[in-house]
Amino acid sequence: MDQLVQPNLIMLILFAIFVNNYVLSQFLGICPFLGVSKKLETAVGMGVAVIFVITLSSAVTYFVYHLLLVNLHIEYLYNIAFILVIAALVQLVEMFLKKSSPSLYQALGVYLPLITTNCAVLGVAVVNMQNNYTFIASVLNGFGGATGFALSIILFAGIRERMAFNNIPKPFQGFPIALVSATLMSLAFLGFQGLIQL
């Protein structure tokens, strides 16, 4: 087995938030990014729920991969195994929150089950695996990536809220203008490229 890698942890988090932003540089998790960014309030809910789930799933998928798949030499099954684990994990988290913290459950609402289909969750798990990160690096990479997602969706929701009051030409109303502004945000984040070398 390859040697596990543990880069500078602070750099890793910053790298995941800005340089390797899952939405704006990797183009993962675009559906919630476009779907739940109409209001700042819902975007914050989605962002928090994603941070929660991705951090947790990075930890769990680390163990599933290194203890189960690697030991049995069936690494090629990682996609199926990760999807299974993430889906079950989201369900478990939902149940747990419903019981222990109804207010948080209410606040996250429908976004919690929606995360199951967020490809950024799987993306983070796969990146952790491919880069051979240690457990701590995996969790922090997950946390950083999810924070990056939350950051971009919240910024985007702020832009869309202001955009709603603007006089947008008819062919651009709705999703077209949202996609144009997402592109511009992505270009802006391109400026972070090369800022940090891991």
Partner 1 sequence: MDITSILYPVLCVGGLGVVLGAGLGYAGKIFEVKEDPRLEQVLECLPGANCGGCGYPGCSGMASAIVSGKAPVNGCPVGGAKSAAAIAKVMGVAVEETAPKVAFVKCHGTCDKSVNKYVYEGISDCAMANQLAGGGAKGCSFGCLGLGSCVKACAFDAIHIVDGVAKVDETKCTSCGNCVKACPKHLIEIVPQAQQTRVACSSQDTGKEVMANCQVGCIACRICEKNCKFDAIYVINNVAVIDYTKCKDCGLCAMKCPKHAIENPKAIAMAEKLAQNAAAKVEAAKKPAPVAEAPATEAPATEAPASSTSSEHIND
Residues that bind partner 1 (CB under 8 A): 64, 68-69, 72-74, 77, 80-81, 84-85, 88, 91-92, 95-96, 98-100, 102
Q: Closest distance between partner 1 and the C-beta of residue 89, in Å? A: 9
Cα separation, 198 vs 130, in Å, equals 15
Cα separation, 8 vs 70, in Å, equals 25
Nearest to 66 by CA among 9, 121, 129, 127: 129
Q: Closest distance between partner 1 and the C-beta of residue 91, in Å? A: 6
Taking the least distance from each CB to partner 1, the nearer of 100 and 103 is 100
Q: Closest distance between partner 1 and the C-beta of residue 22, in Å? A: 25
Q: Closest distance between partner 1 and the C-beta of residue 125, in Å? A: 14
Q: If you compute the radius of gyration of the chain from its CA atoms, what whole number of angstroms results?
A: 18
H helix or E strand, kind and range, residue 76: none
Give CA separation, 192 vs 3, 14, 87, 114, 140, in Å.
29, 10, 32, 29, 19
Q: Closest distance between partner 1 and the C-beta of residue 142, in Å? A: 19
Taking the least distance from each CB to partner 1, the nearer of 172 and 193 is 172
Taking the least distance from each CB to partner 1, the nearer of 60 and 163 is 60
Taking the least distance from each CB to partner 1, the nearer of 3 and 100 is 100
For residues 65 and 78, the answer to whether their CB atoms sit within 8 Å is yes
Cα separation, 109 vs 101, in Å, equals 12
Enter the DSSP assignment of 172. G
Cα separation, 34 vs 138, in Å, equals 27
Taking the least distance from each CB to partner 1, the nearer of 114 and 185 is 114
Q: Closest distance between partner 1 and the C-beta of residue 169, in Å? A: 18
Taking the least distance from each CB to partner 1, the nearer of 39 and 98 is 98
Q: Which residues pair with 133 in a beta bridge?
A: 5
